[in-house]
Amino acid sequence: MPILIDGYNLLYAAQIVGPGAGPGSFHRARLALLAFVAEMVQPDELPHTTVVFDAANAPPGLPRTVRYHGVTAHFASDHDSADALLEELIEQQTAPRRLTVVSSDHRVQRAARRRRASFIDSDQWYAQVIDRRRQRDTAADAQEVKPRAPLTPAAVRHWLDAFGPIDVEAMMAELIDPPAPSPPDDPPEPPPLKPGLPSPETLANPFPPGYGNDLLDG
């Protein structure tokens, strides 16, 4: 179904650009909007999707009609405003009842109503495509985690041949009654002392027997 979008109206509804932005910001915002539309619109609808911008901040040197990732963008250089061009494009539709007009402007909505085309506020359309994309991504994630189908007998034989015979009974026995852990190894023997060093027993109590008794007696 054809989609006709009021470009700057959607820019502000999606908060891609705010009041007071300069020409450079408008150029970046237009590209961001066209990329967003190209990503969110269904592939079969892209060739029939048109975005209309005012010509006041149009980039110099570009033609009045450009294509970006399958989306057609018009700059209303030969019209008083984007609304006037939107009205003209609505009038030119040969099957207006199949057309969806995305704009919160009442003038544009009245033009769509006269031709019995569908229309929707820009912020509502923005919320709808975001929600539709989120649902699509959720469904794709669920598809990825679905359990795979069981292996065919031929696949089972392939893996058995690759890894050799498997003792299933031994594996089950280990799972049910795992073997007792082996006792820890004996601690290693201490290394021999170098000649002339005192023995460990001497180092354990460096004072001779009776040392300190005179202090206790005092």
Is 66 part of a structural domain of the chain? yes
The pLDDT of residue 212 is 46
The pLDDT of residue 134 is 87
Instruction: Compute the distance between CA of residue 85 and CA of residue 101 in angstroms, rounded to an integer.
Output: 13
The pLDDT of residue 88 is 95
Is 15 part of a structural domain of the chain? yes
Amino acid at 180: A
In sign, the C-alpha dihedral spanning 19, 21, 23, 26 is negative
Q: Are 10 and 29 in contact (CB under 8 A)?
A: no
DSSP 56: T
Q: What is the pTM of this model?
A: 0.61
Instruction: Compute the distance between CA of residue 145 and CA of residue 68 in angstroms, rounded to an integer.
Output: 35
Mean pLDDT of the chain: 75
The pLDDT of residue 41 is 92
Is 142 part of a structural domain of the chain? no
Closest residue by Cα to residue 57 from 8, 106, 9, 108:
8
Say which residue, 172 or 147, is predicted with more confidence: 147
Provide the pLDDT confidence category of residue 106 given band limits of 50, 70 and 90.
Answer: very high
Is 124 part of a structural domain of the chain? yes
Is 177 part of a structural domain of the chain? no
Q: Are 69 and 38 in contact (CB under 8 A)?
A: yes
The pLDDT of residue 9 is 93
Is 128 part of a structural domain of the chain? yes
Is 175 part of a structural domain of the chain? no
The pLDDT of residue 174 is 45
Closest residue by Cα to residue 109 from 132, 83, 129:
83
Is 212 part of a structural domain of the chain? no
Provide the pLDDT confidence category of residue 215 given band limits of 50, 70 and 90.
Answer: very low
The count of domains in the chain is 1
The pLDDT of residue 48 is 95
* pLDDT tens digit sequence for 117-139: 999 999 999 999 999 888 887 87
Instruction: Compute the distance between CA of residue 202 and CA of residue 208 in angstroms, rounded to an integer.
Output: 9
Amino acid at 194: K
Find tokens 């619109």 and name the residue: 41
The pLDDT of residue 153 is 56
* pLDDT tens digit sequence for 9-40: 998 888 886 555 555 677 788 888 999 999 99
Say which residue, 76 or 213, is predicted with more confidence: 76
State whether residue 122 is helix, strand or coil.
helix
Q: Which domain holds residue 128?
A: 3-136
Provide the pLDDT confidence category of residue 152 given band limits of 50, 70 and 90.
Answer: low
Instruction: Compute the distance between CA of residue 134 and CA of residue 130 in angstroms, rounded to an integer.
Output: 6
* pLDDT tens digit sequence for 190-204: 555 555 545 545 444
For 39: left if phi > 0, alpha if psi spans -120 to 50, otherwise beta; the answer is alpha
**Phi and psi of 26, rounded to 5°?**
-65, -40
Residue 109 CB-density burial (10 A; 0-12 exposed, 13-18 middle, 19+ buried): middle
Torsion angle in degrees (nearest 10) through CA of 206, 212, 213, 215: 180
* pLDDT tens digit sequence for 52-89: 998 766 666 667 888 988 999 999 888 888 999 999 99
